[in-house]
Amino acid sequence: MLKVGIVGGTGYTGVELLRLLAQHPDVELTAITSRTEAGMPVAKMFPNLRGHVDLAFSEPSIDVLGACDVVFFATPHGVAMKQTPELIARGVRVIDLGADFRIADPAVFEKWYGLPHSCTDILAESVYGLPEVNREAIKKARVIANPGCYPTAVQLGFLPLLKAGLVDASHLVADAKSGVSGAGRKAEVHTLFSEAAESFRAYGVSGHRHLPEISQGLARMSPEKIGLTFVPHLLPMIRGIHATLYATLKADAGDLQKLYEETFAGEPFVDVMPAGSLPETRSVKGANTCRIAVYRPQGADTVVVLSVIDNLVKGAAGQAVQNMNIMFGLPETAGLTQIALLP
């Protein structure tokens, strides 16, 4: 059994990790930390875990976390980079669900996140945890940068086109929408029910923190320079991301449906839907699945890709568990076979 610790277990990502790991056949939950809620039973805060998680939140302790096989960080940026060096020195493997190890260039990280990177040597060896792209490197990694939610949906959607060199990589458009849980569990005016319900708006149009992460990932898929316009939106729902992606074909592309099906053949968590399908966010709610559909409207030179995920599962906690499974040689689907909730 893998001994697992979670740093920062009180947010939406933290409780999703707990939900998945509590059902994992090869996991023993060892520690769940929270400085503000230390001593509180986890099931008191999250009653859905009653009878499944008997631990209480505890103060972060390097001795306790250092006895784990793997530690997940479900924390704001800046936390994981401070604690990771001592953990990996003790032989612990780290999966960070925050942003600390996602951006390879420390200067770019500092520009977008407003603080210098404190362990650039570890940043240099960390592996970006998008399994459909980096599975082999993930197997050997000591530190995994778990991708963000928007970046997961966008990169998986564009992947077949860029790998095949079929589109103009300098003019990509990602029009993406997310439910309010993507903003986290903190209290903010814009996510209040009266502010978000029955409304729909864009945000971060001039620049969003996920933009450099997405651009970096797409650049690794294509030898061409990436030009990306990324516009996120807030939807009045709790879970889900819907990314509508646009690209311009450089030449005749052949059968795009076949291209997508062949690219993701054998991938347990990417579902290329039949031609003419319209994937819905509710079809992935609670599941570690990305559903994709590809279109070429009117047979013109514009490709439209529809990509949907649950932002808390394939966009966060589920993908983190998928990475853990790969790192430790477990079946990749272990603990992740939940069927999406519908309705």
Q: What is the pLDDT of residues 259-275, one digit of tens each?
A: 999 999 999 999 999 99
pLDDT at position 231 is 98
On whether both 36 and 96 belong to a single domain, the answer is yes
Contact 177, 242 (CB under 8 A): yes
Query: Tell me, what amino acid is at 297?
Result: P
Per-residue pLDDT tens over the stretch 278-293 = 999 999 999 999 999 9
Question: Do 74 and 39 meet the contact criterion of CB atoms below 8 Å apart?
Answer: no
**With contact defined as beta carbons under 8 Å apart, do 85 and 32 qualify?**
no
Name the strands in the sheet holding 127-128, side by side, starting at the edge strand that comes first in the sequence.
27-33, 2-7, 70-73, 93-96, 143-145, 127-128
At 192 the pLDDT is: 85
* 53 and 179 together in one domain: no
Q: What integer pLDDT is reported at residue 74 of this predicted model?
A: 96
pLDDT, position 208: 93
229-254 pLDDT, tens digit per residue, is 999 999 999 999 999 999 999 988 89
pLDDT of amino acid 20: 98
User: Is the CB of residue 161 less than 8 Å from the CB of residue 247?
Assistant: yes
Q: Does residue 303 carry a pLDDT above 80? A: yes
Rounded distance, CA 316 to CA 285, Å? 13
pLDDT for the residue 103: 98
In this structure, the answer to whether residues 107 and 171 fall within a common structural domain is: no
Residue 82: which H helix or E strand, with range? helix 80-89
Hey, which bits of 105-149 come out as E strands?
127-128, 143-145
Angstrom distances, CA of residue 323 to CA of 20, 25, 100, 225, 313 = 13, 15, 17, 29, 12
Within this chain, do residues 195 and 87 fall inside the same structural domain, yes or no? no
pLDDT the model gives residue 187: 75
Mean of the per-residue pLDDT values of the chain? 96
Same domain, residue pair 78 and 199:
no
* CB count in 10 Å sphere of residue 33: 24
29-38, 93-102, 287-296: lowest mean pLDDT where?
Answer: 29-38
CATH of residue 255's domain is 3.30.360.10
Residue 25 identity (one-letter amino acid): P
181-206: average pLDDT? 87
Q: Report, as residue numbers or ranges, the catalytic residues.
A: 149
Q: Is 342 among the domain residues?
A: no
Q: Does 167 share its domain with 302?
A: yes
136 occurs within a structural domain: no
> What's the distance, CA 216 to chain centroid?
15
Is 343 among the domain residues? Answer: no
Confidence band of 211 (pLDDT split at 50, 70, 90): very high
Average pLDDT value for residue range 169-180: 97
Query: Is the pLDDT confidence value at 186 over 80?
Result: no
Residues in the chain: 343
Residue-level pLDDT at 69:
98
Does the residue 132 lie in any domain? no
Q: In this structure, is residue 33 part of a structural domain?
A: yes
**pLDDT over 70 percentage in the chain:** 100
Q: Are 316 and 16 in contact (CB under 8 A)?
A: yes
Q: Contact 226/172 with Cβ under 8 angstroms?
A: yes
Same-domain pairing of 81 and 164 = no
Express each pLDDT in 48-85 by its tens digit.
999 999 999 999 899 999 999 999 999 999 999 999 99
Q: Residue 90: is its pLDDT beyond 80?
A: yes
Domain assignment of residue 338, yes or no: no
More confident residue, 302 or 195: 302
Residue 240 C-alpha from the chain's centroid: 12
CA distance 147 to 325: 16
Burial of 257 (0-12, 13-18, 19+ CB in 10 A): middle
Residue at 138 is within a domain: no
Interatomic CA distance for residues 92 and 337, integer angstroms: 26
CATH at 47 = 3.40.50.720
Separation between Cα atoms, residue 180 and residue 302, nearest integer Å: 30
Verify that 77 and 177 share a domain, yes or no: no
Q: Which of 244, 220, 250, 330 is nearest to 294 (CA)?
A: 244
The number of distinct structural domains making up the chain is 2
How remote is the C-alpha of 52 from its chain's centroid?
Answer: 25
How many angstroms separate the first and last alpha carbons of the chain? Answer: 35
Q: Containing H/E element for 27?
A: strand 27-33
Asked whether residue 282 is assigned to any structural domain, the reply reads yes
Where are the strands (E) in the chain, listed by range?
A: 2-7, 27-33, 70-73, 93-96, 127-128, 143-145, 172-178, 201-202, 228-234, 241-248, 270-272, 290-295, 302-309
Encoded tokens for 178: 């997310």
Residues 93 and 224 grouped into a single domain: no
Helix (H, G, I), strand (E, B), or coil: what is residue 216?
helix
Domain enclosing residue 201, as ranges: 150-311
Look up residue 221 and give its DSSP letter. Answer: T
User: Quick one: 35 and 184 in the same domain?
Assistant: no
110 and 197 assigned to the same domain: no
On whether both 69 and 204 belong to a single domain, the answer is no
- The stretch 151-179 carries a mean pLDDT of 97
3-state secondary structure of 38: coil
